[in-house]
Amino acid sequence: MECQCEFYCDIITRLSSRLMHQFNVKSLEQTCFEVLRDNICPENCIGLWQFTKVWYIPILIQLKYEAFYFICENFEEVSLCEEFLKLTKEELADILDQDDLTVTQESTVYQSVLRWINHMPEERQGAISTLLPKVRLGLMDKSYITDNVLNNDVVKTNPESHLLVTDTLKVMSQPSLLCSESGINNTLFCHRLPNAVLLMFRLNSNTIEAFDYSTNSWITVHNHLIQEDIMTHLCFYNTVFLGRCFYIVGGGLSWTNPSNRVWRFNLVTHTWQEMSPMQESRNSLSVTVLKRCIYTMGGFRNLTSLRTAERYQPNINQWMFIASMNERRSYASCTTLNNKIYICGGQSYRILNTAEYYNPDTNQWTLITPMGTPRSGLGVVAYMGHICAVGGSYGFRPLRSAEAYDPETNTWYDVSEMVHTHSYFGIAVMNRRIFVVSCRRENKFVECYDYTTNTWSVVFSGMNHSEYDEVSCCVISRLPNMAEYCSPREPIIPRTQDMEQFLEEIVDKSQNLVFCERIDG
């Protein structure tokens, strides 16, 4: 892939010259960009980022942004690749400084710094004073700091870094130091921003909230997101995120009065805009995004479930019909995997267990092996290379069960059951976990599934303002103002037992070390 990246980048730079622009080859330039963007991986993202930084060609500037975002979002895998060791000190510091760097534990960031330094220890050992302040030391466990940071040879031989570690341990014992003029950086104790946030739309009450998975907390999104003439009494719609906007698609004023209207809200500029309407009015529809286009499928109209499907191209603000599905479906759910759209379940004249996929290259729908359980009002997501169908209901029976589809074998298999039953809920994949959100019985629940343990767990349970509320969700990411949709990043000071006595020992050792260095000097 590295050779291919160099090849396509070379084409883009040649095509972007003034001479080649005269021959109207922008479509080939765009094709090369899309090939590179779609094939960014942990092994080549740093090389692409470094290459595109030296060019001021618009399409390469966009590719630089895509590569850098990939590095931050997949940092744990990227830091183990060979290209990671080729970063300059300034480049690595820039990456580690990102507030939305995605890591499970901050110790991963520290270990990446050591790996980079140990690759060329003589030349890079002094870089620890630049890189260690980029690590959120205050989020680490005290025992890890003492065993792996404070006593590390690279840190011990660098007075500036050693002082940073001891100051961090002091703050763990005396949080008031953060409010003093001690010079300690509060950022060392602040959680990083999540790379994605779940926006929840409560269809009956027309409210919008955001779930921050990194803190398992909800925040009420600013009231300016709700535009009265759009949201009032609108129901049975669906939502999707694309670019820097979320779209409200279809729905209607009642179950028997579907709409074809579409609204877009820009999450950065906080502005609403009505877009071109769909070709067909539909409520209880399925919506997804594939290759920067929005697809809508099925839904309900004139007391009948629909087979029709449409594609929306934002760049020309236009909807067009695509091939119709094999089944009529409303209250179904869909997702994308391997450049195909999968839609599962729903209802027509019966509750469906059928599933099918759409190939945009051939404009054809193909039925796949049916699910083991008929499901209406279910949730479907792509997860770890498989399609997961979760919850829903079978007639009047709500379901806790879940199952997954392997596209290579065309078979379904059971996944562990959820803690609660959910129907007409929100579902999304964030941080390599599946999140399910529902509002019922005056409670709001968030469950999450982790493939490493094959278990579901309740990560949030709180009061709901109404007895029952249908929920629609979409995941937002890559916004310059992500902090607006996350819980406040206040410094968090982990308290530990016997910290005061421990710090006295550390301070004594630190003072002795400085004293000995002065004598040796």
Structural domain boundaries of the chain?
1-86, 105-193+503-521, 196-485
User: Does 53 have pLDDT greater than 80?
Assistant: yes
- What's the token pair of residue 291? 């290759």
Query: Per CATH, which fold does 196-485 belong to?
Result: Neuraminidase (2.120.10)
User: Does 161 have pLDDT greater than 70?
Assistant: yes
User: Does 448 have pLDDT greater than 80?
Assistant: yes
pLDDT at 170: 85
Q: How far apart are CA 511 and CA 178, in angstroms?
A: 22
Measured distance between the N- and C-terminal CA atoms of the chain, rounded to whole angstroms: 52
Task: Phi first, then psi: give them for residue 412, nearest 5 degrees.
Answer: -105, 150
Q: What is the mean pLDDT of the chain?
A: 84
pLDDT at 498: 45
Task: Phi first, then psi: give them for residue 474, nearest 5 degrees.
Answer: -145, 150
CB 45 within 8 A of CB 72: no
pLDDT at 487: 85
pLDDT, tens only, 213-249 = 888 888 888 655 555 555 555 677 889 999 999 899 9
Query: What is the model's pTM?
Result: 0.81
Average pLDDT of the segment spanning 492-510: 50
pLDDT at 517: 42
pLDDT, tens only, 450-482 = 999 999 999 998 876 655 567 888 899 888 888
- What's the token pair of residue 443? 């409670």
In terms of pLDDT, which residue wins out, 179 or 461?
461
CATH number given to 105-193+503-521: 1.25.40
Q: How many CB atoms lie within 10 A of CB 86?
A: 13
pLDDT at 71: 95
CA angle (241, 234, 311) in 5-degree steps: 40
**Look-up of token digits 């629909």:** 306
- DSSP state string for 282-293: -BS-EEEEETTE
